[in-house]
């Protein structure tokens, strides 16, 4: 996603966010592959099954899935029905995209807000997910991911609007 | 209510990400009840409570690593060494290679992109007509969905298990159930390839023991993979998610450290790209868990069944109607969305008509294979059009005979449940 037309501090912020997103996604996937493999070795060689590792692995699925969804937002790779783009003139299509971007931002902000409530509720219950990690910490990815998806679509929205107004070339 | 429904359909057609539309509709539906809206995100959180989902990121990652390596080329050489001597042999090679490859990459279009460049020139060079080649490769991009460990099979089982239909829908059973129908599809298409090109002077390569051994030695690391997966699962040695972990680790070691075809610095990009697909699928699944929860609360499937039972009598009539419906659905929605949105509605009805849930899953996916080839959405048409630089209409005309064969196969799969269930009853 191009950041060069943004004010410098915002562009820098986006670059840092992108870097952290990528780092977390890749790191957690590596952890998942390694841990899942170790589990099998342990079970077969030492007849040992780590319950906590199972719980951690399931949590990793959620985190990797949501971080993957954030990455998909950056590249506009979400599953969608893409019929109109082939029939509409480029600028009109950019206008339609601006509208759907706005809708997506709205939904994601609402989801992020509900996720904050969800995390707060869980925090009051103070249950443990695995080891010393409370459940609410594992849920933190929900508000973070939905907020990040909203952020990505806000950046898309800017481009869609500029293209719609003819101030940026349509891709 | 009809107006809101139409508004949501319009949003989908305008290209809004599907997960956002489903989320909005569920938020709206729950806002009319006493339930707190946090229920939607708590359903997404349930993605962390299904152990079997672990298989999805692991298999997808393995598939992407394989696609980036030279494994497709080795697979082509190996299959050609064993099938190339038959009439229409190269066409059969294309079908078998693509089916195996799609099983690992989940029919996400990777097959056409990764193998098209390799197979299309090979077919042309061997003297097959261009139109046939376009049709064959475009079609091959989605066959293989029925073979383990394809993502749609896993996803169907995950969705079906949410529904409490009283019959288990184990992934292992689905993997077994897909073998005969999947083979039937490949076989019918291969026969068509041989028949279509009869009388054309296409030289077949003579079977050579030396070439077969050489190809087998070259692919020695990849050949055991299906055995590891299926053998591991059916001997009871691995759970499905464990088989996925072994596959991911194995493929990683073979392609990165033994063959060294993916350099270590490239690995993070491959990891990220594979997880984009996983994220896009699982977030739709998460939202659809919430919508399924609402639909079950509102007893929608029960009411739908009562309505349909008044008009459609008997399982055969229902299955015919289902085939038509799925064909149209496949023209509109991609396979992953169709699965998570439609299975919660269709499965309870099918079970009501006495259709086995495993059989329904195979019928559903077989229908969807055709959807990949139908306008206006059919993803394979557009990927092939882009890949081979040909108008979509040309591609569509080229796949039509293949679509006819697939329809025949789907009818057989639908009305001969034994094909799907035969291997299960032992």
Q: Residue A51's pLDDT is what?
A: 75
- Given a cut of 70, is residue A61 above it in pLDDT? yes
Nearest to B82 by CA among B219, B251, B185, B199: B219
Q: Kindly identify which residue of chain A lies nearest to residue B13, measuring between CA atoms.
A: A81
Averaged pLDDT for residues A132-136: 89
Share of chain A above pLDDT 70, in %: 96
Chain A residue numbers touching B264 (CB-CB < 8 A): none
pLDDT tier at A142, thresholds 50, 70, 90: very high
Residues in A 54-113 with any Cβ partner in B closer than 8 A: 54, 57-59, 61-62, 64-73, 75, 77-85, 96-97, 99-100, 103-104, 107-108, 110-111
Q: Kindly identify which residue of chain A lies nearest to residue B375, measuring between CA atoms.
A: A83
Averaged pLDDT for residues B362-385: 85
Rg (CA), chain B: 22
Q: Please state whether the peptide bond connecting residue B118 to the residue before it is cis, i.e. omega within 30 degrees of 0.
A: no
Q: Which residue of A22, A84, A114 is in closest CB contact with B13?
A: A84
Sign of CA dihedral B258, B264, B266, B270: positive
Residues in A 14-53 with any Cβ partner in B closer than 8 A: 22, 25-26, 29-30, 32-33, 36-37, 39-40
Q: Residue B203's pLDDT is what?
A: 67
Mean pLDDT of chain B: 88
Chain A residue numbers touching B38 (CB-CB < 8 A): 114-115, 117-118, 121
Chain A residue numbers touching B41 (CB-CB < 8 A): 111, 114-115, 118, 142
* Comparison of pLDDT for A166 and A110, the residue scoring more: A110
Q: Residue A2's pLDDT is what?
A: 58
Separation CA B185–CA B366 (nearest Å): 9
pLDDT by residue (tens digit) across A11-59? 999 999 999 999 999 999 999 999 999 888 888 777 777 778 889 999 9
pLDDT by residue (tens digit) across B177-199? 999 999 999 999 999 988 888 87
Nearest to B362 by CA among B140, B103, B147, B59: B147
Q: How far is A5 from chain B (nearest CA, A)?
A: 25
The residue behind tokens 């159930």 is B177
pLDDT by residue (tens digit) across B87-124? 888 888 889 888 888 887 766 677 787 788 788 888 88
Residues in B 239-278 with any Cβ partner in A closer than 8 A: 241-242, 244-246, 248-249, 252, 268, 271-272, 275-278
Query: Over the range B186-220, which residues count as b (16 or more CB within 10 Å of their CB) and which as e?
Result: bebbbebbeebbeeeebeeeeeeeebbeebeebbe
Q: Do A36 and B248 touch (CB under 8 A)?
A: yes
Separation CA A49–CA B313 (nearest Å): 51
Separation CA B316–CA B344 (nearest Å): 20
Chain B residue numbers touching A85 (CB-CB < 8 A): 15
| B352 close to B307: Cβ distance less than 8 angstroms | no
pLDDT tier at A129, thresholds 50, 70, 90: confident
Separation CA B93–CA B99 (nearest Å): 10
Averaged pLDDT for residues B360-388: 85
Does residue B200 belong to the interface with chain A, where contact is any CB pair within 8 Å? no
Chain B residue numbers touching A42 (CB-CB < 8 A): none
Q: Residue B146's pLDDT is what?
A: 92
CA angle B69, B72, B74 (to 5 degrees): 100
pLDDT by residue (tens digit) across B73-85? 888 888 888 888 8
Q: Kindly identify which residue of chain B lies nearest to residue A141, measuring between CA atoms.
A: B45
| B48 close to A138: Cβ distance less than 8 angstroms | yes
Q: DSSP class of residue B425?
A: G
Q: How far is B14 from chain A (nearest CA, A)?
A: 6
pLDDT by residue (tens digit) across A62-75? 999 999 999 999 98
Q: Residue B206's pLDDT is what?
A: 77
Q: Do B280 and A69 touch (CB under 8 A)?
A: yes
Chain B residue numbers touching A33 (CB-CB < 8 A): 58, 61, 245, 248-249, 252
- Given a cut of 60, is residue B426 above it in pLDDT? no
* Comparison of pLDDT for A49 and B65, the residue scoring more: B65
The residue behind tokens 């020139």 is B121
Q: How far is A2 from chain B (nearest CA, A)?
A: 18
- Name beta bridge partners: B184: none
Separation CA B47–CA A141 (nearest Å): 12
Q: Residue ranges per domain, chain B?
A: 35-421
Separation CA B359–CA A38 (nearest Å): 36
Q: Residue B333's pLDDT is what?
A: 79
Averaged pLDDT for residues B226-248: 84
For chains A and B, count residue pairs whose Cβ atoms are closer than 8 Å.
Answer: 187
Rg (CA), chain A: 20
pLDDT by residue (tens digit) across B131-169? 999 999 999 888 888 998 888 999 999 999 888 788 888
Q: Please state whether the peptide bond connecting residue B149 to the residue before it is cis, i.e. omega within 30 degrees of 0.
A: yes
Spatial neighbors of B266 by CB under 8 A, at least 6 apart, are B68
pLDDT by residue (tens digit) across B2-41? 888 899 989 988 889 999 999 999 999 999 988 889 999 9
């Amino acid at each position: 996603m191009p950041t060069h037309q943004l004010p410098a501090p915002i562009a820098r912020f986006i670059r840092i966010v992108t870097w952290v997103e990528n780092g977390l996604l890749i790191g957690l996937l590596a952890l998942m592959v390694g841990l899942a493999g170790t589990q099998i070795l342990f079970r077969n060689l030492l007849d040992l099954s780590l319950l906590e590792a199972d719980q951690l692995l399931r949590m990793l699925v959620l985190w990797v899935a949501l971080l993957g969804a954030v990455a998909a937002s950056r590249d506009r790779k979400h599953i969608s029905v893409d019929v109109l783009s082939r029939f509409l003139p480029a600028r009109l299509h950019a206008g339609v995209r601006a509208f759907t971007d706005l809708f997506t931002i709205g939904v994601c902000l609402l989801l992020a807000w509900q996720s904050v409530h969800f995390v707060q509720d869980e925090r009051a219950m103070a249950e443990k997910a695995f080891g010393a990690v409370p459940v609410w910490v594992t849920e933190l990815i929900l508000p973070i991911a939905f907020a990040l998806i909203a952020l990505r679509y806000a950046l898309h929205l800017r481009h869609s609007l500029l293209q719609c107004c003819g101030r940026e070339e349509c891709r | 209510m009809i107006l809101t429904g139409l508004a949501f359909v319009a949003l989908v057609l305008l290209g809004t990400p599907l997960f956002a539309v489903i989320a909005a509709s569920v938020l709206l539906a729950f806002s009319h009840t006493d339930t707190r809206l946090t229920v939607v995100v708590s359903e997404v959180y349930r993605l962390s409570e299904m152990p079997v989902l672990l298989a999805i990121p692991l298999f997808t990652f393995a598939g992407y690593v394989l696609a980036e390596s030279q494994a497709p080329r080795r697979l082509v050489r190996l299959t050609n060494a064993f099938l190339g001597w038959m009439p229409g042999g190269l066409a059969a090679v294309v079908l078998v290679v693509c089916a195996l490859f799609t099983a690992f990459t989940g029919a996400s279009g990777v097959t056409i992109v990764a193998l098209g460049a390799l197979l299309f020139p090979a077919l042309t060079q061997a003297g097959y007509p261009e139109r046939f080649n376009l049709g064959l490769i475009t079609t091959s991009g989605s066959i293989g969905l029925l073979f383990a460990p394809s993502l749609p099979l896993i996803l169907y089982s995950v969705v079906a298990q949410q529904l409490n239909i009283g019959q288990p829908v184990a992934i292992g059973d689905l993997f077994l159930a897909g073998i005969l129908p999947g083979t039937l599809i490949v076989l019918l298409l291969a026969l068509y390839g041989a028949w279509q090109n009869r009388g054309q002077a296409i030289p077949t390569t003579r079977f050579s023991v030396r070439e077969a051994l050489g190809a087998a030695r070259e692919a020695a690391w990849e050949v055991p993979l299906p055995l590891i997966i299926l053998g591991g699962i059916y001997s009871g040695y691995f759970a499905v998610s464990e088989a996925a972990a072994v596959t991911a680790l194995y493929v990683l070691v073979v392609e990165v450290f033994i063959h060294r075809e993916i350099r270590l610095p490239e690995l993070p990009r491959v990891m990220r790209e594979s997880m984009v697909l996983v994220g896009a699928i699982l977030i739709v699944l998460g939202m659809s868990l919430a919508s399924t929860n609402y639909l079950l609360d509102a007893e929608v499937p029960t009411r739908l069944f009562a309505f349909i039972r008044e008009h459609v009598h008997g399982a055969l009539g229902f299955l015919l109607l289902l085939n038509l419906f799925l064909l149209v659905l496949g023209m509109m929605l991609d396979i992953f969305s169709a699965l998570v949105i439609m299975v919660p509605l269709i499965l309870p009805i099918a079970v009501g008509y006495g259709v086995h849930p495993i059989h329904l899953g195979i019928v559903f996916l077989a229908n969807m294979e055709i959807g990949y080839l139908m306008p206006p959405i059919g993803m394979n048409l557009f990927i092939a059009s882009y890949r081979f630089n040909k108008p979509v209409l040309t591609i569509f005309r080229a796949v039509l005979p293949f679509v006819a064969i697939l329809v025949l196969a789907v009818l057989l799969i639908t009305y001969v449940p034994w094909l799907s269930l035969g291997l299960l009853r032992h």
